[in-house]
C-alpha cells in the first residue's frame, strides 16, 4: 500500500471515528440518502441546458484531449468531466464542437471524479461518442475553422501538450485571428512556450491559473519525478501572474481572450467564460448540487462556517458528499477542528 493510499485510508478512518463520537443520531441527520444520485441512463434530451432551444450557429470550437494513457505507473488520459461539461455548454450556446488529439483516434479516458447526469449523457450520446472515438489528429487540423480552442485536462496533457508543434501552431493561429483560448486543470500545459506571430509568448503579461503544486503533490507525492515539470511552476515562470485559489475549489481566470481554470471544478466557469469572451452571454443553466457545494466551501474558506451556512441555506440542495470529502482532506492534513466544522456544515 502506497503512502498516498495509506493517508487516504487513515483519513477515512479518523473521519468515521469523528462522526461516531458525534453519535448515530448525528450521522443519520446528515440524510445523505435523500440526495439523488446521478442517472446512468441520462441522455442529452434530459439536460435542462439543452431544452430551451439553441442559438443559431456561432461557429466551431475545437476541444483538444491527450493521447497519453500512462504517466510512469500512474494512469493518465483525459478527464471525462472536463470534456463532457464543456462540450454541452458550448453546444447549448450555439457552437459546434469537434475533438482532436495529438495521435487522433480514440483517446484514453479517465473517470476519476464523481459523474453527474451531464457526464452520463455524454457517455450515452452516440454523436459525442463517435467524435470521441475518432478524434482528429492535431497535425491535420486547420485552425482557421475554429472560433476557439479548449484544452481538456487530465494527467496525460502534461506529456503531449507542451512543446507540441501542432498545439503551438493551432493556439497561435486561433489567438492571432481574434479567437479565444481556454484550458482547464492540466490543460494549460498546452500554453507553455506558445509564441504568437509577433514572436511574443502567449503567456507574457497574462494572468492564468492551472492545477497547483499543492493540489498535485497532495495526490501524487512524487509528482516532481512523475511529470516533466509541475504546471504551476511552468506557468508562473512565463505568465504575468499565477492565481492560486483554495485547493480543489473552482477558480477561473479570464484575461481577455485567454480563459484558464485551476481544476475540474472550474470546468463550467471556464466554458462559460469562453462563451462570454466570444461575445455571447451564456444561456441560463441550473446550478448542479456539486457547484452549490463548491460555493458553500468557498464561503467557508473565505468567510468562515457561519457565512458558509448562510450560503448553504440560501442555495439549497448542496452536495453534502462533496463537503464531507473536504472534511476528509482536512483530517488527512491534521486540521481536525476544520474537519469537524465542515462535517457540521454538511447538514
Share of the chain above pLDDT 90, in %: 83
50 contacts 91 by C-beta, under 8 angstroms = yes
Fold of 44-277: Rossmann fold (3.40.50)
Q: Where are the alpha helices (DSSP H) in 93-125?
A: 117-123
> What does the alpha-carbon distance between residue 286 and residue 289 come to, in Å, rounded to a whole number?
9
pLDDT of residue 28: 52
Share of the chain above pLDDT 70, in %: 90
Q: Residue 284's closest CA among 47, 18, 80, 70?
A: 47
Mean pLDDT for all residues in the chain: 91
pTM for the whole thing?
0.91
Q: How far apart are CA 158 and CA 240, in angstroms?
A: 21
Confidence (pLDDT) at 135: 98
pLDDT of residue 33: 59
3-17, 28-42, 47-61: range with highest mean pLDDT? 47-61
Residues with Cβ < 8 Å from 267, sequence gap 6 or more?
A: 81, 82, 85, 86, 184, 185, 261
Q: Where are the beta strands (DSSP E) in 132-277?
A: 136-137, 148-151, 180-184, 207-208, 241-242, 252-255, 258-261
pLDDT of residue 200: 96
pLDDT tens sequence across 194-231: 999 999 999 999 999 999 999 999 999 999 999 999 99
* DSSP H or E run through 272: helix 267-277
Strand 96-101, strand 60-64: pairing:
parallel
Sequence ranges of the chain with CATH classification 3.40.50.880: 44-277
* 125, β-bridge pairs: none
pLDDT, residue 347, reads 78
Q: Which of 83, 80, 98, 90 is nearest to 50 (CA)?
A: 90
CA distance to 5, 38, 163, per residue, from 46 (Å): 37, 12, 40
pLDDT-derived band of residue 71, with 50, 70 and 90 as boundaries? confident
Cell triple for 3: 503512502
Beta bridge partners of 253: 260
The pLDDT tens digits for 79-102 are 999 999 999 999 999 999 999 999
State pLDDT tens for residues 270-319: 999 999 999 999 999 999 999 999 999 999 999 999 999 999 999 999 99
Q: Is residue 125 helix, strand or coil?
A: coil
Angle between helices 267-277 and 80-92 (to 10 degrees): 30
pLDDT at residue 35, as a whole number: 67
pLDDT over 50 at 11, yes or no: no
Q: What is the mean pLDDT of residues 341-347?
A: 90
- State which H helix or E strand residue 269 sits in: helix 267-277
What is the predicted pLDDT for the residue at 74?
86
Amino acid at each position: 500500500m502506497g503512502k498516498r493510499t495509506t493517508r487516504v485510508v487513515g483519513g477515512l478512518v479518523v473521519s468515521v471515528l469523528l462522526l461516531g463520537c458525534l453519535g448515530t443520531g448525528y450521522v443519520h441527520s446528515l440524510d445523505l440518502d435523500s440526495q439523488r444520485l446521478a442517472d446512468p441512463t441520462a441522455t442529452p434530451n434530459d439536460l435542462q441546458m439543452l431544452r430551451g432551444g439553441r442559438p443559431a450557429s456561432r461557429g466551431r470550437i475545437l476541444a483538444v484531449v491527450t493521447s497519453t494513457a500512462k504517466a510512469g505507473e500512474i494512469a493518465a488520459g483525459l478527464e471525462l468531466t472536463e470534456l463532457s461539461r464543456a462540450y454541452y455548454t458550448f453546444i447549448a450556446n450555439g457552437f459546434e464542437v469537434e475533438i482532436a488529439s495529438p495521435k487522433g483516434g480514440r483517446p484514453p479516458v479517465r473517470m476519476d471524479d464523481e459523474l453527474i447526469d451531464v457526464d452520463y449523457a455524454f457517455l450515452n450520446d452516440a454523436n459525442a461518442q463517435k467524435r470521441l472515438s475518432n478524434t482528429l489528429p492535431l497535425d491535420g487540423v486547420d485552425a482557421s475553422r475554429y472560433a476557439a480552442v479548449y484544452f481538456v485536462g487530465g494527467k496525460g496533457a502534461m506529456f503531449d501538450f507542451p512543446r507540441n508543434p501542432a498545439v503551438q501552431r493551432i493556439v497561435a493561429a486561433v489567438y492571432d485571428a481574434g479567437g479565444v483560448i481556454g484550458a482547464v486543470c492540466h490543460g494549460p500545459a498546452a500554453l507553455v512556450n506558445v509564441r504568437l506571430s509577433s514572436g511574443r509568448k502567449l503567456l507574457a503579461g497574462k494572468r492564468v491559473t492551472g492545477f497547483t503544486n499543492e493540489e498535485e503533490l497532495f495526490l501524487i507525492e512524487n509528482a516532481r519525478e512523475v511529470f516533466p515539470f509541475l504546471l504551476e511552476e511552468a506557468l508562473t515562470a512565463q505568465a504575468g501572474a499565477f492565481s492560486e485559489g483554495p485547493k480543489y475549489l473552482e477558480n477561473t481566470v479570464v484575461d481577455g481572450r485567454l480563459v484558464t481554470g485551476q481544476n475540474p471544478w472550474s470546468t463550467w466557469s471556464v466554458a462559460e467564460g469562453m462563451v462570454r469572451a466570444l461575445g455571447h452571454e451564456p444561456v441560463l443553466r441550473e446550478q448542479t448540487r456539486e457547484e452549490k457545494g463548491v460555493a458553500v466551501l468557498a464561503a467557508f474558506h473565505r468567510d468562515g462556517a457561519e457565512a458558509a451556512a448562510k450560503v448553504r441555506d440560501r442555495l439549497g440542495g448542496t452536495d453534502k458528499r462533496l463537503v464531507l470529502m473536504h472534511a476528509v482532506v482536512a483530517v488527512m492534513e491534521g486540521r481536525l477542528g476544520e474537519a469537524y466544522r465542515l462535517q457540521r456544515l454538511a447538514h
